[in-house]
Amino acid sequence: GGGETRVRVERMFGLMDRFLKSDPSSLQKDILDHVEYTVARSRFSFDDFEAYQALAHSVRDRLIERWHDTQIHFKKKDPKRIYFLSLEFLMGRSLSNSVINLGIRDQYADALKELGFEFEVLAEQEGDAALGNGGLARLSACQMDSLATMDYPAWGYGLRYQYGLFRQVILDGYQHEQPDYWLNFGNPWEIERVHVTYPVKFYGTVEDENFNGGKRKVWLPGEMVEAVAYDNPIPGHGTRNTITLRLWAAKPSDQIDMESYNTGDYINAVVNRQRAETISSVLYPDDRSYQGKELRLKQQYFFVSASLQDIIRRFKDSHSNFDDFPEKVALQLNDTHPSLAIAEVMRVLVDEEHLEWNRAWGIVCKIFSFTTHTVLPEGLEKVPVDLLESLLPRHLQIIYDINFDYIEELKKKIGLDYDRLSRMSIVEDGAVKSIRMANLAIVCSHTVNGVSRVHSELLKTRVFKDFYELWPHKFDYKTNGVTQRRWIVVSNPSLSALISKWLGTEAWIRDVDLLAGLQEQAANVDLHEEWRMVRKVNKMRLAEYIEAMSGIKVSVSAMFDVQIKRIHEYKRQLLNILGIIHRYDCIKVAYAILILFQNMEKSDRTKVVPRVCIIGGKAAPGYEIAKKIIKLCNAVAEKINNDPDVGDLLKLVFIPDYNVSVAELVIPGADLSQHISTAGHEASGTGNMKFLMNGCLLLATEDGSTVEIIEEIGEDNMFLFGAKMHEVPALRVKGPTLKVPLQFASVVRMVRDGYFGFQDYFESLCDKVEGGNDFYLLGYDFQSYLEAQAAADKAFVDQEKWTRMSILSTAGSGRFSSDRTIEEYAEKTWGIEPCKCPF
Ligand code: GFP
Ligand code: GFP
């Protein structure tokens, strides 16, 4: 038995002795063993990729030890656990992050050097795990890192998509999407748990059954698939704690439907079973609207059902009374995507555990918390009732029952205000009768969090106003944060070393508020020199990448001006491109004057601050306008980069296939970064925080979390512009009567007139920002945008000043660590405490 084995193993090896050693020669032996036995190549001959695989497996071994100890410790202590449910996790690469969190990066680098390999080169062999779209998904990944580092008893649950977010390929300037079959070369960072499987059911009917003298509902499902667990250990930094990200894959069910096998149609029976796997096959691109897609709903339920079976199984391992459930379990809904979990918990408690409805409801109300990541109405999911009825008939009944009770209660509180009742109902009685997933999540959660302070204000005053008036206590916010482990230590090792040197400690890696200590040194000339050197080396690395990828040579003395994020109208990459066209035009005019007068003095050309403008991001495959923005960027780049009048004064580069590892390379090399959404549209933004940590200055609107960044570093330390959030609605009403600056009309005209080619193709794009259609206020904001850009140019010329601003940016970034966000969630929303593994 288990206990006996433990005694034997302890007697034979001692408690700690069995652990793998991490001195260089032990590491070398382990790597070679993995080359020989895991990768099955000769230890005398293997290439970089095989070396990476062996290296990854040796790191994985070390992760597994810690992970086991952590899980055993959690089991023993039985603390309240947080279960983070998210349909998306954008983990990126694991190798560097793992060895840094384990504190054995240098040992590995030394060990490899003697074997003739470079750690950095092998790290480049790893592909990204791109199981998510954008900010929401990367936030989940940052939060997992913080949960592990801060010793919280946490589990992440998600889906193991076989195809991650599409690869973006640019051909003739247009975006093409290619499938990302990321598991092609194996994935050493996951552990397949063939025995951790659960059946997940769909379709069928609901029948009444006699029970204890009364009736009860029984769901007779029509289809069943198997969910198999894949565990991804997530190591904390500076702690032994290593937590689990458990991702589910769909497999055909073990239970054979004998009928179809006996009809003789064996081949079709197998093919039909195979269809089960499509459930976890592909991540939906774009996270805004997938209304009415059956596969999407199937994915959501599949993931919710498997996760809850696992969570309830774990609870029942050591508890018998469900009234204790809220003492032991907190369920976090990352956006509305997992909100079917609410109906599923009700179903399990009532139908399977036979709790009385009200008792089950009492439990449900204590366990869920919901975080929303959007302000856009199209981001609020709706599920057509017809679809739900066919796929999950019992869940639909449960949602109706919840809604009935809730509306009755509501009538008592607000009276028969039918408009308001219908707005607040979980069920929408429109042309297509639907379930409003956000309303379901709000009604059933004890806390509704926004992702920044202003986002929360918008939720309270606009998006969820009715609910806020009813339940003000439910509404709160936890401003997003990012992990400084990945976004400084992993991606910018030289800045990391510099910070540690000047602070005299590495403690900031776990206690990021210590970065504030840099403020005192912000004027120190020695620090300035070292700071600039680090930044220059990072720019050189980025310049090399740009040249390798696009053939464009850029000068590192130019200002590197970056905008990287998903392409969306509200994020306003188009404003950036139109600004670049304006800059180009000014350079051309200056050149014409130079030629005319043959006199450098008279020309403004000498005053132009050279820039390299870098844009990157994916457009959702069905989002036509976003795709046109990409094409425009490339068409403008083509023109500018090949114009001999411009030379080094201006370059425009579109970086294809933007992802986490591209961000890790680009962010440390950026001087200026743009966060220019129309005020009131970016719920938070997290890119701004990553740039800030790396000492990049921000050019931004007062939107989302930028408002809080201003409070930390001061508006003098960045370049702000644009309409304010409270002004935007009135400006929209004014629409066509708004005065638009001449420069704006003239750059749009250049595009319209085919100056960059593709005249017809760009027409609809131009229409979007002119003639009263300018919903995102590009025209209105253009003037102040150009002024902010001019201010950035001016500051850049004064390198002393710029460097001080850069240092102050890093120094002021402490508040934007996901460690702070997670601590707030733990204390205020989840009610959980650290549970530190003792070794
Ligand atoms: C248990 C044990 C772990 C073991 C897992 C997976 O954890 O040591 O690795 O099961 O089989 F504690 P729970 O899933 O019950 O938390
Ligand atoms: C979404 C929101 C962002 C927010 C993130 C994380 O991200 O404002 O910072 O979620 O909360 F839009 P994107 O997927 O749009 O980047």
- pLDDT digits 0-9 by tens, 452-474: 999 999 999 999 999 999 999 99
Q: Which two tokens stand for residue 201?
A: 């059911």
**Domain co-membership, 437 together with 578:** no
User: Which residue's CA is minimally distant from atom 9 of ligand 2?
Assistant: 685
**Claim to verify: residue 565 and residue 444 sit in the same structural domain:** no
Distance 71 CA to ligand 1 centre (A): 6
- pLDDT tens-digit series, residues 48-73: 999 999 999 999 999 999 999 999 99
Q: What's the longest Cα–Cα distance across the chain?
A: 102
Residue bearing the CA closest to ligand 2, atom 15: 135
Tokens of 370: 């919901």
Q: Are 176 and 194 in contact (CB under 8 A)?
A: no
Question: What's residue 291's pLDDT?
Answer: 65
**DSSP at 398:** H
- Residues 312, 210, single domain; the answer is yes
CA angle 72, 74, 79 (to 5 degrees): 155
Structural domain includes residue 496? no
Position 424 in a domain: yes
Task: Specify whether the CB–CB gap between 227 and 306 falls below 8 A.
Answer: yes
Mutate to test the pocket of ligand 2, among 90, 684, 688 (most ligand atoms within 8 A of CB): 684
The SS3 of residue 215 is: strand
469 and 572, same structural domain? no
- Residue-wise pLDDT for 84-117, tens only, equals 999 999 999 999 999 999 999 999 999 999 999 9
What would the mean pLDDT of 3-10 be, rounded to a whole number?
76
Q: Active-site residue among 373, 382, 446, 485?
A: 373
pLDDT given for residue 9 in this prediction: 73
Give the pLDDT score at 236: 98
pLDDT digits (tens, 9 = 90+) for 772-810: 899 999 999 999 999 999 999 999 999 999 999 999 999
Closest CA to 611 of 576, 661, 567: 576
| DSSP string covering 582-605 | HHHHHHHHHHHHHHHHT-TTTSGG
Q: With bands split at pLDDT 50, 70 and 90, how would you rate the model's confidence at 411?
A: very high
* Beta-carbon count within 10 A of 570 CB: 15
For every residue of 43-77, which 3-state class applies, written as one string? CCCCCHHHHHHHHHHHHHHHHHHHHHHHHHHHHHH
pLDDT at 19 over 90: no
Contacts (Cβ under 8 Å, ≥6 apart) of 172: none
The answer to whether residue 760 sits within a structural domain is: yes
CATH number at residue 153: 3.40.50.2000
List % helix, strand, coil for the chain (3-state, nearest 5).
55, 15, 30
823 within 8 A of 710, measured Cβ to Cβ: no
Per the domain annotation, does 528 fall within a domain?
no
Residue ID of nearest Cα to ligand 1 atom 5:
71
Cα angle value 811/812/817 (rounded, 5°): 100
- Let me know if 465 is a catalytic residue: no
The number of residues making up the chain comes to 839
Q: Where are the alpha helices (DSSP H) in 244-324?
A: 258-262, 266-274, 294-318
Residue 497 lies in a domain: no
Contact between 722 and 785 under an 8 Å Cβ cutoff? The reply is: yes
Q: Which has the closest alpha carbon to 614: 639, 637, 587, 643?
A: 637
Q: In a mutational test of the pocket of ligand 2, which residue from 133, 451, 681 has the highest number of ligand atoms less than 8 Å from its CB?
A: 451
- Which ligand 1 atom is at minimum distance from the Cα of 196? 11
The confidence score (pLDDT) of residue 281 equals 95
Question: Distance from the CA of 134 to the center of ligand 1, in angstroms?
Answer: 31
Residues 418, 559, single domain; the answer is: no
Residue 321 and residue 443 share a domain: yes
| Among candidate residues 23, 35, 56, the one with its CA nearest the CA of residue 233 | 56
Q: Is 571 a catalytic residue?
A: yes
What pLDDT, in 10s, does the model give residues 571-580? Answer: 999 999 999 9
Question: What dihedral do alpha carbons 780, 782, 783, 788 form, nearest 10°?
Answer: 130
Q: Does pLDDT of 219 surpass 70? A: yes
**Once rounded to an integer, what is the mean pLDDT over residues 693-711?**
98
Which residue carries 């590009």 as its tokens? Answer: 778
How far apart CA 106 and CA 263 sit, in angstroms, is 63
Counted domains in the chain: 2
pLDDT at 259 over 70: no
- Residues 794-804: tens digit of each pLDDT: 999 999 999 99
pLDDT at 261: 66
Residues 613 and 758 in one domain: yes
Same domain, 682 and 562: yes
Which of 478, 503, 521 is at the close of a domain? 478
Kindly list the distances between the CA atom of residue 466 and the CA atoms of 296, 336, 470, 475, in Å, as whole numbers in the listed order: 29, 18, 6, 12
Record the tokens describing residue 663, joined without a space: 């961000």
pLDDT more than 70, % of the chain: 97
Judge if 472 and 616 occupy the same domain. Answer: no
Supply the pLDDT for residue 288: 59
Structural domain ending residue among the three candidates 478, 496, 520: 478
Whether 698 shows a pLDDT value over 90: the answer reads: yes
> Is 693 exposed, middle or buried (CB count within 10 Å of its CB: 0-12, 13-18, 19+)?
buried
Specify the ligand 2 atom closest to the Cα of 565: 16
Among residues 151, 158, 461, 141, which one has the least CA distance to residue 333?
158
Residue 696 lies in a domain: yes
Cβ burial of 500 (10 Å; 0-12, 13-18, 19+) is middle
* Same domain? 468 vs 547: no
Residue, of 379 and 715, whose pLDDT is higher? 715
Q: What is the pLDDT of residue 652?
A: 98
In the set 571, 572, 618, 627, the catalytic residue is 571
787 falls within a domain = yes
Residues with CB under 6 A from ligand 2: 133-136, 139, 287, 373-374, 451, 480, 566, 682-686, 704
Q: Which range has the worst mean pLDDT, 9-23, 114-128, 304-318? A: 9-23
Domain termination residue (choose one: 478, 512, 529): 478
Residues 561, 419, single domain; the answer is no
Tens of pLDDT, residue by residue over 586-627, are 999 887 877 777 766 656 777 899 999 999 999 999 999 999
pLDDT (mean) for 472-491: 98
Q: Which of 455, 566, 611, 768 is catalytic?
A: 566
Q: Is residue 441 part of a domain?
A: yes
Average pLDDT on 344-372 reads: 97
Identity at 526, one-letter amino acid code: D
- 803 catalytically annotated: no
Range with the poorest average pLDDT among 118-127, 592-601, 628-637: 592-601
Distance CA 67, CA 837 (A): 10
Domain span holding position 330: 78-93+128-478
Residues with CB under 6 A from ligand 1: 68, 71-72, 75, 196, 314, 317
For residues 454 and 581, membership in a common domain is answered with: no
Whose alpha carbon is nearest atom 10 of ligand 1?
A: 71
Within 13 Å of residue 700, how many CA atoms lie on the same side as its CB? 31
User: Which pLDDT score, from 0 to 100, does residue 772 have?
Assistant: 87
CB 161 within 8 Å of CB 283 = yes
